Amino acid sequence: MNPLDQIETPVVLIDEKVLDANIAGLAASSASRGISLRPHVKTHKVAQIAAKQLAAGASGITVATVGEAEVFADHGVADIFIAYPLWPDELLLRRIIALGERIQLRIGTDSVEAVSKLASFSAVGGRVSIELDSGHHRSGALTGEVLSIARAGRSAGVLIDGLFTFPGHSYAPGASVSAAAGESAALGQAAALLEADGFTVRHLSGGSTPTAQETTIAQEIRSGVYVFGDAQQWELGRAEPADISLTVLGTVVSRHDGDPALRRVVVNAGSKVLGSDRPNWASGFARLLDHPAARVSVLSEHHATVLFPPQTPLPALGERLRLVPNHVCLTMNLVDRVLVRKTDGTLTDWTVVARGRNS
């Protein structure tokens, strides 16, 4: 009997063999291009996976929150970049100073107001990177604002040592080339301005998973999703089904074969385990790894409604199906443990140690 038949569903299932291949693949391609890889661990939040990435040559890790940084530091990671424009209020400043005393720590900023508060962090060796808006229009300074932020930091005694950007607009069909060009332009222009003003720019950090292969200037990339792949990457043509290492195993609980326009099964994996990100260009709320023609047309908290086209077999009640989440970073933040099919075929589980560490 398949040992997976004895597991309660829904469950997040990781295939270690595919995971290892993904980690080795980006490590090799980054190394061959002379680019430093600092993977974003918000995607997985798992100590064992960060350890694999570091063993494969990652220069350190990237996180989004101070809480994630604290957890990974507790698990032995010694070099962390919080790629986020932190607002250093009294509580948060105390935490980043304490962390800066323990590990190599770099944080983000995008305003004169924030950078001016960071002198006590730099006093313990903490480094600060200025975030640029390279076209995503979320956080990040415009090129024209960078110099005033850097100078405010210098006046306050803050160690400004580089620039970073997140080309989030790359996550759309056909967008990765122009997003990578925007990223390269923003980093290059801002670096030139800083160096002309006497700053030493020690790092230029960029690179989402879609742009990682196309950036021309970033010295460091922070890809996250590449370890697992997801339905977004699949539909963007950035991952093949064989590259997807994470699925949510669910069970068919309801089956309706009467109406040709609504031939469907309902799987017991909903938004509370898959997450509910659905970009406009996505074909549904998730994909099925073994049924590429099926579409998850509606996603409720505990129901994935999966439409099957005419002439395709409709899975049976009780059958188990592997769902590929649209955005895998959300999936990992929903579960406390994941099931792992190890390279030797046995099963184990890993704890999602940084789950829910939003602050």
- Which residue ranges make up the site for a copy of itself (CB under 8 A)? 6, 8-11, 42, 64-65, 84-87, 89, 91-92, 110-111, 113-114, 137-140, 142, 168, 251-255, 258, 262, 264, 266, 268-273, 275-278, 298, 300-303, 305, 317-318, 329-330, 333-336, 356, 358-359
Beta strands in 166-319 (DSSP E): 203-206, 220-221, 246-256, 264-267, 286-288, 295-299, 304-307
Q: How far is the CB of 340 from a copy of itself (least distance, A)?
A: 17
What are the structure tokens assigned to 303, written together? Answer: 């129901």
Closer by beta carbon to a copy of itself, 35 or else 278: 278
Closer by beta carbon to a copy of itself, 64 or else 286: 64
Q: How far is the CB of 237 from a copy of itself (least distance, A)?
A: 22
Work out the number of other CB atoms within 10 angstroms of the CB of residue 352: 22
Q: How far is the CB of 37 from a copy of itself (least distance, A)?
A: 20
Closer by beta carbon to a copy of itself, 48 or else 65: 65
Give the Cα separation of 16 and 341 in Å (integer): 6
Closer by beta carbon to a copy of itself, 91 or else 196: 91
Q: How far is the CB of 356 from a copy of itself (least distance, A)?
A: 6
Q: How far is CA 354 from CA 81, 132, 148, 270, in A?
A: 15, 27, 35, 22
Closer by beta carbon to a copy of itself, 74 or else 113: 113
Q: How far is the CB of 214 from a copy of itself (least distance, A)?
A: 21
Give the Cα separation of 102 and 70 in Å (integer): 10
Closer by beta carbon to a copy of itself, 221 or else 296: 296
3-state DSSP call for residue 258?
Answer: coil
What are the residues facing 32 on neighbouring strands?
none
Q: How far is the CB of 276 from a copy of itself (least distance, A)?
A: 5
> In the 8-state DSSP scheme, what is residue 314?
P
Beta carbons of 119 and 156 less than 8 angstroms apart: yes
The rounded Cα 26 to chain-centroid distance in angstroms is 14
